[in-house]
A and B are shown apart, each in its own frame.
Chain A
Amino acid sequence: MTKFQHKLYISLFVAVTLLSLVLIVYYGYSYYTLPLEERFFSPLHNNFKPSGFIGHGLGIIGSFMMLLGVVIYMVRKRVKSFHRYGILKYWLELHIFLCTLGPILVLFHTAFKFGGIVSVSFWSMVAVFLSGIIGRFIYVRIPRTIQGVELDLREVDDINNNYSLTLREKYNVDENILLQIENFANQKYKGSLSVKNILFIVVKDYFRRKSNLRMIKKSLINAGVSRRKVNEIKKISKQKMLLSNRISYLRVFQSLFKYWHIVHLPFALVMLIIMLVHIGVTVTFGYKWIF
């Protein structure tokens, strides 16, 4: 997949997600914002109630998307024979797409009624969804190959050196500026790192990095480097700084990622089990397949 194709791939996910959200909100806003006691009397009730054609439909589609998102990603990731099918990163992005849009559709299926046994499933879904976002946050902070395999420190250092080489040879960056970039990349948190303060450090690094990049940009402009080149150099410098930071915090994030797996997966399982119970109950009480 080329970069453009990847962008298109991601854009499609975002567009579908946003469009779905917009359409549901547009048509269902007046229903979903009604007090619970009033909904029955709304003309939209028959369609938008959880057992209505749209409401029930959203539940079925949303659940199916989540199941699909979980299953295909798990199968691709864990079953060896599927390893050869596509790049794991893309499967993860599909997983994220399906498991983002799915909960959104299910959210509207609930019509914002968060009670009963199915609410456990719902809140589990919410937990899985949120933990997914957190997981994604941790995940990207652990340097990996495009296949999702974690890189060791040596491999990471090689990448880091490659950045320096590119800056020096490809862009002929002035040695002083190069030194400035190296210095900025090597700036590290001086205190002890822990799970407790890592978020604070990450945020602090974010602002420091921005400030450093501004200074690099200034130096490059002063040195008479073209604007196009400045942006490219700035981009590589950012990657270098990010990589340097990630190297520094790698152990902490690796340890966090282990904990994350403990949370994300069980919630997903609880969600699935109770969802099945919910489906069983609804079928027991006479609700049938609507499509």
Chain B
Amino acid sequence: MIGILANFNIYAQISPGELSKAHANLEGLSKCTSCHVLGKDVENAKCLKCHTEIAELINLKKGYHASKEVSNQNCWKCHGEHFGRKFQIIRFDEKKFDHSKSGFVLKGKHKTIKCEKCHNPNLINNKKLKKKEKTFLGLETNCASCHEDVHQNTLGKNCENCHNEEKFKPAVKFNHNKAKFKLTGSHKKVKCDKCHKIINKNGKKFQKFTNVKFSSCNSCHKDPHKGKFGKKCSSCHNTVSFKKVNNLKGFNHSKTNFPLIGKHRKVKCETCHKGGLSYRPKYQFCYNCHSDYHNGEFKNQNGIRDCSYCHSEKGFSASTFTIKMHDKTHFKLENAHIAVPCFSCHKKENKWHFKIKGDKCIACHSNVHGSKISGKYFDENKCQSCHSTLSWNSVKFDHHSTGFDLLGAHKKVNCKSCHFKKDGSGKTEQHFSDLNSNCSQCHNDVHYGQFTSGKSETCTKCHTFDNWKPALFDHNKTRFILDGAHVKVACSQCHRLKERNGVQFIQYKIEDVRCISCHS
């Protein structure tokens, strides 16, 4: 007992146990009444005398201690004492705590985040509370008290007008239609930062939501027309799509790089602007829009020569291709070719062909002679040997080369007379290589074989090429010399008309030259 009494620290012994660490300064007999009211329970007023921050909140009817559930309770109901230094006078079960009682209902993201995200000394303004360890006091309920104002005071303080507590982004409560610039068409789909640019302001990322210029489209959009069509984009465009132009009343194509001329003026817009009116077709070359009628005929090493070389907007035909231009090709148009219409050479089987290979006449002209002319004179279809572009009929041929000089009346005779003859059926047959120098090839033997000696002809013994008169005939060199009265006798007196096999002819060769054969 003495031992017990020896350890008896009188002032502390009334206490039922050591105070917690927070109240350790209140330990001692003389300090009991700091908390206790003699004859009564521990009264809240005593607690609140020291815990002024709680008292203030209760007076302001703010916070958990001012809630219905707590305000009428004794402090000691939740905050026990005399359980030793290690006792947690505030044991706070974060998981079970009904935050709505604190005056701030946790919703959305606030439900899931850790307490210390908000209950953090850095977010407490009150200097006294800031120093308190692990305090849950001192926070305001406005968003800005915990959250950084990323709008840098440009949008006011009522964050809840635009944001909810689920996610900061996107600002789901924000209705752009309540703004001065209402979102229509494709503007509804555009990402915010396309117009509300993210810039650096005061060393921080800042998205500009105020003072965004929107009076004209150019405020955000670049003018692809570089001012050519004025500033009123809506005269052609709407907000649904830049590419879908629905109003062309005020559009002047002449202001574009491709003024509409000629037939282009009558073409429907979508014929060229296939992807929509705002579709900008290539226009440098006609083939950008037009298909190459000539199927690449005018393709050269530099590509396709543009149509405008031969055509104009006035129409595909007639072509603006001139004879002069033709002369610059490998086939200069000369003489009769100048008069020839283009299609004569370039249109075959109802289709135009302009690329004619080579310069041989045969490319255009058919070889009417076939194989009738010997290769000696008509080598490799070289029509120029005889013909020229002046006229088809003006044949220039050195007949001497054939070994048959055209002499006398032959000079005047049309070639056709000898070389084109109708056959029995009336069909004209050519004769060139099949002709020889025999007169009978062309001429009829009116003498009915009287002077033919075997196979050889004897026409030239009597006749020349000048005419039909037998200029070379000398009757005296015949077996019957004319003399006497015979000189004056008409030829027909002796050389009478005879008929053989139904053919009449004058008999010049008289076999029987006796007088009796003529005279009776």
The reply to whether A116 and B13 form a contact with Cβ atoms under 8 Å apart is yes
User: Which chain B residues numbered 9 to 67 have a C-beta less than 8 Å away from chain A?
Assistant: 10, 12-18, 32, 36-42
Chain A residues whose C-beta falls within 8 Å of the C-beta of B83 in the assembled complex:
36-37, 39-40
Alpha-carbon distance A286/B5, docked complex (angstroms): 27
The reply to whether A286 and B42 form a contact with Cβ atoms under 8 Å apart is yes
Asked whether B80 is an interface residue with its Cβ less than 8 Å from the other chain, the reply is yes
The reply to whether B1 and A124 form a contact with Cβ atoms under 8 Å apart is yes
Chain B residues whose C-beta falls within 8 Å of the C-beta of A36 in the assembled complex:
17, 83-84, 87
Considering only CB atoms and an 8 Å cut-off, how many residues of chain B contact the other chain? 27
Alpha-carbon distance A60/B220, docked complex (angstroms): 87
User: Which A residue sits closest to B12, measured CB to CB?
Assistant: A116
Alpha-carbon distance A124/B8, docked complex (angstroms): 13
- With A113-B17, A286-B39, A286-B40 in contact, do A120 and B5 touch (Cβ < 8 Å)? yes
Q: A254 to nearest B CB, angstroms?
A: 25
- With A116-B17, A120-B5, A120-B8 in contact, do A37 and B84 touch (Cβ < 8 Å)? yes
Asked whether A145 is an interface residue with its Cβ less than 8 Å from the other chain, the reply is no
Q: What does DSSP make chain A's interface, helix, strand, loop or mixed?
A: helix
Asked whether A127 is an interface residue with its Cβ less than 8 Å from the other chain, the reply is yes
Cβ-neighbour of B13 out of A40, A45, A117 (below 8 A): A117
Q: B285 to nearest A CB, angstroms?
A: 89
Alpha-carbon distance A226/B193, docked complex (angstroms): 114
Asked whether A267 is an interface residue with its Cβ less than 8 Å from the other chain, the reply is yes
Chain A residues whose C-beta falls within 8 Å of the C-beta of B39 in the assembled complex:
283-284, 286
Considering only CB atoms and an 8 Å cut-off, how many residues of chain A contact the other chain? 25
Q: A134 to nearest B CB, angstroms?
A: 15
The reply to whether B41 and A286 form a contact with Cβ atoms under 8 Å apart is yes
Cβ-neighbour of A284 out of B12, B38, B86 (below 8 A): B38
The reply to whether B14 and A281 form a contact with Cβ atoms under 8 Å apart is yes
The reply to whether B86 and A37 form a contact with Cβ atoms under 8 Å apart is yes
- With A36-B84, A36-B87 in contact, do A116 and B16 touch (Cβ < 8 Å)? yes
Chain B residues whose C-beta falls within 8 Å of the C-beta of A266 in the assembled complex:
1
Asked whether B355 is an interface residue with its Cβ less than 8 Å from the other chain, the reply is no
Asked whether A224 is an interface residue with its Cβ less than 8 Å from the other chain, the reply is no
Bitwise interface map of A from 51 to 81 toward B, beta carbon under 8 Å scored 1, else 0: 0000000000000000000000000000000
Asked whether A123 is an interface residue with its Cβ less than 8 Å from the other chain, the reply is yes
Asked whether A103 is an interface residue with its Cβ less than 8 Å from the other chain, the reply is no
Asked whether B88 is an interface residue with its Cβ less than 8 Å from the other chain, the reply is yes
- With A116-B16, A284-B39 in contact, do A123 and B4 touch (Cβ < 8 Å)? yes
Chain B residues whose C-beta falls within 8 Å of the C-beta of A283 in the assembled complex:
39
User: Which chain B residues numbered 460 to 506 have a C-beta less than 8 Å away from chain A?
Assistant: none
Q: A281 to nearest B CB, angstroms?
A: 5
Asked whether A200 is an interface residue with its Cβ less than 8 Å from the other chain, the reply is no
- With A285-B36, A286-B40, A286-B41 in contact, do A267 and B15 touch (Cβ < 8 Å)? no
The reply to whether B87 and A117 form a contact with Cβ atoms under 8 Å apart is no
Asked whether A132 is an interface residue with its Cβ less than 8 Å from the other chain, the reply is no
Q: B82 to nearest A CB, angstroms?
A: 9
Cβ-neighbour of A286 out of B1, B8, B37 (below 8 A): B37
Q: B13 to nearest A CB, angstroms?
A: 4
User: Which A residue sits closest to B13, measured CB to CB?
Assistant: A117
Bitwise interface map of A from 260 to 291 toward B, beta carbon under 8 Å scored 1, else 0: 00000011001000000000010111100000
> Can you sample 6 A-B contacts with CB below 8 Å?
A36-B87, A39-B83, A115-B13, A115-B15, A270-B1, A283-B39
Assuming A36-B87, A266-B1, what are 15 further A-B pairs, CB within 8 angstroms? A36-B84, A37-B83, A37-B86, A37-B88, A40-B80, A40-B87, A41-B91, A45-B80, A115-B17, A116-B14, A116-B17, A117-B14, A120-B8, A286-B39, A286-B41
Which 8 pairs of residues, A with B, have the shortest CB-CB distance?
Answer: A117-B13, A40-B80, A37-B87, A286-B41, A286-B40, A116-B13, A37-B86, A281-B14
What is B's interface to A at a CB cutoff of 8 Å? 1, 4-5, 8, 10, 12-18, 32, 36-42, 80, 83-84, 86-88, 91
What is A's interface to B at a CB cutoff of 8 Å? 36-37, 39-41, 45, 50, 113, 115-120, 123-124, 127, 266-267, 270, 281, 283-286
